[in-house]
Structure formats: structure tokens, C-alpha cells
Structure 1
């Protein structure tokens, strides 16, 4: 998934995930699922580094980066307004932005500083490219309220409208927002100086954030960890690396994990793009004295029984600490069917840095008592290749729909949508596992857990590709289709036709070992797109 262009693991350029249920029974089920997901994606240790007291009381707060950056905010829906307070460990300029895709290009940014006389300066800027963001002289929508410097930190309170209707701004939508931040070491002289590595990003649902518990809430609980074992990160730009673990032996009866924490090796923050935790199929068998590990593609057949049960995912910008709702927990050991687990790491090493070793992993906190329900995970979206995703450049909105028929869950049907914005791209974006490629993946957490309810993915049918490309799709000419797509000279008219192709193409749907053909995706009432209102 592209840094410049994730999600809920629909991280990256996906602005919105639309989920529909086609039966009344499913509508109830989905409200439950969504309720849990919102709880899961926003948990974090409520740590604040700044020595400066905020100017006022805010509804939400989070530590953007330990001992570097803290953020507070309050949303006023009636006034269509959000008030921020940003603290950063510098006496130079500080910046906060809303990004359409996680990178600088296309981002709407507020930049401010406090001068030697204590005066606050604040600028509304827009990043048209990977250069110094330009000042928006048409309308100034980032408005400073007050600011100060103390103990080597700068604190500025500012506000803006949630939706400004300004083409040089990015709307703060309901759902997940990609927040970027940066700082300089000195106040600007003329223009702001380059921030170099002093920057970062976070995925935060600004309008629906839930202030998380302190991590000390779990410190007295038993826990277990699955971690890499000082494994060498290969000298490749993209590597998927796996390690299998046996279920904890210290729990003879079933226990519930009530929270988990992603543990990213502090030496490898620049390398770890995401990790996936799998519960292996109950039929999986391994030599307990020689559990497999290594580059995924070199062990795929050996590890195949573990790819069926995605349990949890963390990606860059995601929250490290997740707490489950009080009535449900993740089952571990005892009569729980899975006896093995697998950790899959995605390492992004574009500089091909050698001799890097990693100990990243995940920790599960065990509750003292069993809860009422077992938690389960369910995944939707598209398969990860070009036959599922080929997104034209310079599109303000490109929809990719997925559908899962009633056979998947014995009665319920699910429709999901990924919405992409590629206004910052001049070439087609293909589906794939590299950081420069894209995915469309939705994972929901639900309860009570059901057996044989794991994943359901779609892709455009080979017959559909044959019709549009005039090339018969076979295993041997897959690369020919990819080359054909890469050579397309995109125009607005052709991009619009490509959207129609995706809207009407027949699909293959894969679930529970079944491959089903859909001549056309079922039609359903779309969620309305709100017009800009100031």
C-alpha cells in the first residue's frame, strides 16, 4: 500500500469504506460489527510528553510521537468547526496537515511559530507537489487563536472548518483522517526551511475518536508475546517475512485476551510497514521443535494452512494498543481450535540497507475471567493483484466495489467499497503487495464468533478482462495484461470509461474454498455524497 497514496488496513488512499447489508438480519449484525471496529481501531496509551499545559480543556488528545509531538482537539459539528492545539518539541516552526493519501502531495497544512516577542504567526498552506507548500492566498482557513513557547516546546491553538469548500483544502470527513505533522528547528526567515526527517503521519478518526485507556490498566495482567527473533531483514525493497508460533502452553483451559499491543522494534520504525497476525487452521501440523520461519514466498506451501485466519493487523499510522469491548475477548488455548499462530511482517527497505535485525511483534493481555462472547474476525475486499485493482491517475474519486453472497455466511450478503483519490498520481496504480502498489482490504471484528467465517474476496472475471483488452487471460499471459494496462495513455474520457468497466464487470468471488461467478454486482442504494456546505 502506497505511503503516498492505507485504512483500517484500507490504509492509504482510501477515504471512505461503505458497508451495506442486504437483509434485515444482517443490518443488526453489521451495526454490532461496526461498533466493535470503532472500539478497536482507536485504542492507544494516553501518553502526553509536552510540559506545557493546554490552553483549555479538549474532548480528545493523543501523542503523535513520543517526546516530540502531542495533539488535542474538539469538534463542533453544529458549527462545522474543529479546534486543535499542537505541541512540538522545538522553538522553530510547527505544522499540522490533513493529507488525502498519507503523503505531502495534495495535503492541506497549517504552519505556525511564535517569534521572540511572543507573537503567534500562522499560515494556511497547500502542498501541490513534493516541494515547499505554497501559501493559500485565496482564503485563509487555518486560523490561529493563541500560542506560546516554554521549556523548548512550542504550543499553538488554531481552528478551521471541517469542510471549507476550498479546492486547496482537504475536508475533515467522518471516518478515518490521515494527519501529517512536521517541524523545523528555527523560525522562518523568509520561507520555512526543509524539515528533513522531522515529520510523521497518523491515521486518526478526528470526528469519532475515543480517548483510550492508560496502558497501566493492563500492567497487572498476565500476557504473552509473539515476536521476531532478531531475524535479519533481507536486502530487498519489499519483503514479507513469516514466523510460526505454538499456542501458549501455560493455559490448559480457554482464556480471553482483552487487549493487545503492537510492538515495533524502535530500531526499525523506518522498515516495518505493517504486520498481520494469523490464527492457523486447526488442521495445521508442524514440528514443534522446528517451527517454520523465513521469507514468505520461500515457505508458502509449508505456511499455507496459516493464511486462512487473519486475526489482527497493524499498519504504519495505526494505533499500537487495542482494547476489546468489555463483553468479549479473543479466545486463547483450552478448547480453542487453533494450536498455532503466525506473524507476517511487511518490511519496506527501499534503500536496501543491509544487516538490519528485527524483534517486532505483538503482545496479548489475558483477562482474569472469561467474558460472555468470543471475538472473531472477518475480511472483505479484493484479491491483491492487477486483476482486482487497476486505478487510473488523476481521478478525484474511483470506486472499487466488492460483494459477498449469502453462501458465505449462510444467509447474509455483504457489499463493501473502497474509494480512491489519485489526483496526486500521473501513472496507473496497480494492485499488489509493494508499498508503491495498492490494496482494497476491509477487516471487521465481531462477536459472537462463528466457525468457518473468515474471508471473502473478489476480482474482475477473466472474461471481463478479455472483453476490454481483446486478450484471452491465462496464467501464461497474465504479464501481457499488466503490460497492456501500463501502456494505456489515460485521458479523462478513458478514465470515466474505466470506472464504468469496474461498475459492470463480471466478478469471481472466492470464499471458504469456493469460487463463484457473478455476472454483475447486485445493485443497492448508495450512501449519499454530501455537498460542500460552509
Structure 2
């Protein structure tokens, strides 16, 4: 069976270029932290490193962060690089540079307010460090501050950044071959189709390559030539038996093996630990996940081990952490869940993508764990149509963390990475961290979330998570183009609000989530009773008469969702009591599972404009933003009580099945 890795093909291509087959000669001796090919054809490659440089006095001066770039492009004309909030020219921050025909380097800072030609920025905040060119390629090295204090420059923050690129065969020069000033942006010849965009996380710390990587064995977990169904969303499940190990080992690297050409279809891959004692016969074939005919053994695979999503590369565990194999209680059978995204509903496509696990007998100090947090995936998680800004919150409550960590690890665990996950309506995702009444800095944030680029966020420094702490996963959605409710569920047109928290040492906690009670949500649209006992899913409405015999999903769709109704409904949902999910491994639960409690965090996280002192000494507002201290973020404040007009007990409804 053959597994594929695009990264290996990219590495081979650029090794050839480095050997002199294409790249221009350069005196650059800098060690670049990260690099990426910006287009499938290999025309443009970007390398970058974030650095720090101090200014001001030691007591009151601030530290400026900067970032340096190297662009290698297959052209002898101009090269363009930019950063855009949505992947288009509108609002983009751009540079255009090159080497003229008489050997003079140039680089100019531009901006675009609309989808049209860029304008020269009055403040030139990019510094050209070097430029070189040969008969086929151009190389530019330049740097800038992460926040230039210029309203025409994009602030580069941790999380997704949409990187624009463009090239042209001609330079921006005059008839004598000198660089040409171009304030109107009209002298640079139009790039035509030689352009593109790629989402990257420019500030994600580079993983440290372990010294024992060469001493590892590897196992490939690949789908068995799966024929991808011609539906827009498919979850495919396959169970594998891991190698039989007689001593403890650690997985230290996980590599995606995506078949070339399927990069846009293989949306994410999750790896779950299965119950012990499965029969070998279960390994013979895979099945569509979560369907009625899925074998019962597949439902024993509930504990998340690893998560990879589209756009992510190989993942290296920190040097002191590894995923344990070979000991009692460690995974023997694993289920790999592959999400195929096929919006064109193509048929006849076969796939054998998967994951490669590198493992070693040289043990690290700690075993890694993964905890799924956020909103419990359910129809009770809903977003009205036409909403430009809707906030959902999922709580990993202090009750759950107090019981689980207090029992297993009273001194707490250390978080080192987070994977944020939503579907097509997701716009911004973040994880908030509370200790007592105090909100700590965000654990992770992606302010320009891209469904087609989901990379593990490595924390700049590890974060201690203690018993009694509280995590809130917050997702901002936009449903302006939709006419019906968006429901929590597996399809890409449904929604999720999840964060996979990677930590050490591993404790017996697999999921720490919440779900808003359905009673208050139904009361908002006027529902007063449902048919009992609940025998159908979704359950049926009894009263009032305008909703009678409709499912609750049909009733929600029938309601007229105006701007005022959406706003009030969002405020209500954030204050409704929540049902706690606090799950162990091996299909067991902590005692607080199913508990109903009021959410401690009820107000969405907000960025505040603050004044900073730029290097010129001139205060500039609106560029640096931080968390606002929330006035009613905790349970000590008065809680809005959910309507009690519905006579249904929430737990009774939940037993009908919260999942889709």
C-alpha cells in the first residue's frame, strides 16, 4: 500500500534549486525558521523568521517585534508579496520589488483599499536587505515590524494570515534601467494569472527537530484505496492495529500522508484510541462514520490521540514529550477518521491518504495527552441565518477540571499546542483561560480563520492548567448568505466550535465541553410544550399551534430572524445554563458529566483599542489590542434565568440524542 507526502516532493524540488539549478546566488547566511511554497507550480517560495529588537529605556521602553522574509521567485521581472484580511486586494498591504536590467535593487510599500491597482504608501515601512537575480530567478530579502503603526500596513499577529503573491516578466523601471517611482501603482505591469494566495501562520514557532529522529521506526496508517462518495461531505473511518511493542515507546513526530492532488479534499484526519480486545476481523475494511450500519466496535473508539487538519504539516512533539505506546492502557487499536470535503460532488476518486507515526524507544520525560474542548457537537448548537456576527461559546468548566485534574494531577498539566476547528461559517476562533475571577491571556486565537488552513498553534511558552481553572472556546460565525438555521453537525455546511488542547502529562480526561440547554432556546421562539416521551429525533413540537407536529429544527427555521431577534437570541444563548460533558477514556465519565450549571463566562472576548508609543514617539491608537476586563464575565453576577415555560426536562430531551 502506497502513502503519499506532498512535503517530500516540495523538499526535493527546492533541494534542486538550492543546488544551483534555479536559485540566484546569495550571500544570505540567515537561518530561516519556516518556509513554504506559495503556489502549486513552484514559482514562488517564501521563507521567514520572526525576531525581536529593543527600543526605549530598560524600565519603560517597549520591545518591538519584527519579521524578515526571503522571497525566491521564478521571474526576472517584479515580485509582489502582500497580506490581506480576506485573500483579495481589498485592504491588502503589499510590497513590489526586484532587480532592474542594470542591476539596481528596488522594493516599494503599497496598499490597496479596493479590488484595484495598489497605491504607494507614504510611509515606506519595509526595509530591503538584499536582492539578487540570475537568468531565471529573483531573490528578495526584506524585513518590517509586526506592527508598523501605519494604518495602511497590516498588523501581523499569531494565527492565519492570507499571503498574496504575484510575479511579472518585466521590472518597474524607466528606459535607462533605473527603478521607477510609482505612486499611483500604474507602472507595474499587470500580473494577469501569475498570482495567488496561501494561508499561513507566520508567527507559529518552528518545531525543534529532535536529535533522536534518525533513531525512530515508523508506521503508516493509510486508507485502503477508498472510493470517495460523490457527496459534499464524507467522514470515513478505518481501524488499524499498531505494531506490537514489548516495551514502552514514544511517538515523537506525526506526518500527514496526503495523496498528491487530494490536498483540497482531505480536510482533516483524527486519530482515536479504541477499546482493548477488538477482533482482527474488524481491520478488513473501513466504513462511513456515524452511520447506522457502522460496526459497533467502531463506536468504542472515543478517545482522541491526535488531530491534523488541512494546511498543516508534520507535527513534532516538544523534546520532553511523546505519545506513549507499548504500555498497559496505551492504544493497541486506533481508529482514523478522515473528513473528505467534496463540494463539487465528484465521483470515481480513490484515496489512500493517512498519517505516518514516527516512534522511538528513547523515552521522553512526559506522556502527551489531548483534550477536546468547546461546544458539544449537537443540533442544540445553532446559528440563525443572515447573521454577520454570531458568537458561540463552549465551556470546559471548573467543575470538570477540578474533578479530573484534582484526582489525576493536582499540580496541573502543561499545555503546549492547540488546534482550533470550525466549518465554513467560522470567522474567528479563540480559547480563553480563567483562574478564579481573573482572566489570563488567551490560550490561542485565530482572528482570520480559514476553513482550508488549520494548523496546530504551538504556544510560545507552555501554559499551566490547574484544577478549578476554566477554558472557554469561542467561535465567531458569519451566515449572511444563508436562509436557514445553521446546525451543529458533521457536514461542512453544519458547524462546530472545537479546540484540541495538547498537554502533558496525560490524564484521564478526553473531552471537556458544554452545550446550551434547549429549553430556553425554544422558549425564545414561543414553544411551550413538546410531545412526551421523546421517541423521534429531532423531537416534535406540541404547542403552540403554529409549530404543532413540526420538529424543533423546522420550527426554528420557520421563525422570522430579523436583526433584533438575532441579537437578543445570541445574548440569551450565551447566558443559558449549559450541560457539562466531562469524559474519561475507555467510554467512562467523571461524575460531573451531565451536570447543568450556569456558564461562568457570558460576555464575548473583545479587543480594545489602546495607545502605544511608536519608535517616533508619536502615540498611535487602534493598532494594538488586548483582552478587555469583562464586567459580568463570572457567575457572581446576576444570571439571566432561562424561561421555564417549557415543561420538558433538559436531560430527558438530551437522552433523545444530542448528536446529529
- TM bracket, shorter-chain basis: 0.7 to 0.9
Q: Give the whole-Å Cα distance in 2 for the aligned partners of 1:458 and 1:394.
A: 23
TM-score, normalising length from structure 1? Answer: 0.75
Q: Give the whole-Å Cα distance in 1 for the aligned partners of 2:552 and 2:116.
A: 41
What is aligned with 1:229? Answer: 224
Deviation at 1:356, TM superposition (A): 1.7
Q: Give the whole-Å Cα distance in 1 for the aligned partners of 2:149 and 2:519.
A: 42
| 2:191 equivalent to 1:193 | yes
Deviation at 1:438, TM superposition (A): 4.0
- Deviation string 1:348-368 (CA, Å, 9 cap, x unpaired) is 222223222212111111213
| 2:110 equivalent to 1:124 | yes
Deviation at 1:87, TM superposition (A): 2.2
- SS for the counterpart of 1:433 is coil
- SS for the counterpart of 2:610 is coil
* 1:325-474 paired onto structure 2 within 5 Å: 325-385=318-378, 387-390=380-383, 395=388, 398=391, 400-407=393-400, 409=404, 411=406, 412-413=467-468, 414-420=470-476, 422=478, 426-427=481-482, 431-451=488-508, 453-471=509-527
Deviation at 1:309, TM superposition (A): 1.1
- Count how many residue pairs are aligned between Structure 1 and Structure 2: 475
* 1:136-151 paired onto structure 2 within 5 Å: 143=126, 145=128, 147-151=131-135
Distance 1:76 1:466, change over 3 A: same
| 2:161 equivalent to 1:178 | yes
| 2:561 equivalent to 1:488 | yes
Deviation at 1:381, TM superposition (A): 0.5
Distance 1:165 1:464, change over 3 A: farther
Distance 1:236 1:315, change over 3 A: same
What is aligned with 1:213? Answer: 209
- Deviation string 1:147-200 (CA, Å, 9 cap, x unpaired) is 443353332334444335666654322x3233434334545976633447x635
Q: Structure 1 residue aligned with 2:252, among 245, 253, 258?
A: 258
Q: Give the whole-Å Cα distance in 1 for the aligned partners of 2:318 and 2:491.
A: 34
Q: Structure 2 residue aligned with 1:72, among 39, 45, 48?
A: 48
What residue ranges of structure 1 are gaps of 5+ in the alignment?
1-43
- Deviation string 1:81-102 (CA, Å, 9 cap, x unpaired) is 433332233445544444546x
Q: Give the whole-Å Cα distance in 1 for the aligned partners of 2:390 and 2:89.
A: 17
Distance 1:321 1:415, change over 3 A: same
- Deviation string 1:375-399 (CA, Å, 9 cap, x unpaired) is 2111100123553252776757846
TM-score, normalising length from structure 2? Answer: 0.62
Q: Give the whole-Å Cα distance in 2 for the aligned partners of 1:80 and 1:494.
A: 43
Q: Structure 1 residue aligned with 2:141, among 143, 157, 162?
A: 157
Deviation at 1:252, TM superposition (A): 2.5
Residue pair 2:127, 2:144 contacting (<8 A) in 1 also: no
What is aligned with 1:84? Answer: 69
* 1:48-59 paired onto structure 2 within 5 Å: 51-52=23-24, 53=26, 55=28, 57=30
Q: Give the whole-Å Cα distance in 2 for the aligned partners of 1:230 and 1:166.
A: 52
Q: Structure 1 residue aligned with 2:270, among 254, 272, 276?
A: 276
CA RMSD between the two structures:
3.9
What is aligned with 2:580? Answer: 509
Residue pair 1:141, 1:164 contacting (<8 A) in 2 also: no
- SS for the counterpart of 2:472 is strand
| 2:211 equivalent to 1:204 | no
Q: Give the whole-Å Cα distance in 2 for the aligned partners of 1:494 and 1:141.
A: 46
What is aligned with 1:5? Answer: none
- SS for the counterpart of 1:463 is helix
Residue pair 1:163, 1:532 contacting (<8 A) in 2 also: no
Deviation at 1:225, TM superposition (A): 1.2
The more displaced of 455-464 and 108-117 is: 108-117
Distance 1:396 1:350, change over 3 A: closer
Deviation at 1:307, TM superposition (A): 4.4
Q: Give the whole-Å Cα distance in 1 for the aligned partners of 2:117 and 2:95.
A: 11
Distance 1:259 1:481, change over 3 A: farther
Deviation at 1:479, TM superposition (A): 2.5
Residue pair 2:108, 2:126 contacting (<8 A) in 1 also: yes
Distance 1:305 1:271, change over 3 A: same
Deviation at 1:227, TM superposition (A): 0.7
Q: Give the whole-Å Cα distance in 1 for the aligned partners of 2:517 and 2:372.
A: 20
- SS for the counterpart of 1:335 is coil
